[in-house]
């Protein structure tokens, strides 16, 4: 079930995101790697042991027919759930 919500990358907002994901027992979290914005969301979740998929935007453009803005998160969630996207490699903290 998709339950859209919007969060920014400020520290307090990423804490609310963590709580929101925990309350819903999210099994997999999929993020699009846009510029460096993904890092503020991804790294703390990775350190917490959550199951994350970071997707390269170029890969998404090859499989998405058109970009519509609001439907992008829904498309990303469905693509990840169906195995249409590959996770980018993100090293663990000790390697970074």
Q: What are the structural domain ranges in the chain?
A: 11-81
pLDDT digits (tens, 9 = 90+) for 34-83: 888 888 888 888 887 788 889 988 877 777 655 555 567 788 888 888 88
When comparing pLDDT for 70 and 85, which is higher?
85
Say what the pLDDT of residue 67 is: 56
Quote the CA–CA distance of 29 and 15 in Å, as a whole number. Answer: 15
15-45 tens-digit pLDDT: 898 889 888 888 888 888 888 888 888 888 8
Q: What is the pLDDT of residue 41?
A: 85
Give the per-residue pLDDT at 81. Answer: 83
pLDDT at 11: 87
Q: Considering the entire predicted model, what is its pTM?
A: 0.73
């Amino acid at each position: 079930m998709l339950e859209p919500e919007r969060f920014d990358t400020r520290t307090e907002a990423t804490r609310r995101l963590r709580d929101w994901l925990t309350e819903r027992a999210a099994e997999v979290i999929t993020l699009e790697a846009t510029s460096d914005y993904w890092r503020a969301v991804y790294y703390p979740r990775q350190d917490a042991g959550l199951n994350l998929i970071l997707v390269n935007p170029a890969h998404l453009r090859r499989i998405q027919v058109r970009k519509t803005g609001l439907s992008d998160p829904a498309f990303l969630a469905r693509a990840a759930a169906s195995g249409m996207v590959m996770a980018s490699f993100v090293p663990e903290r000790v390697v970074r």
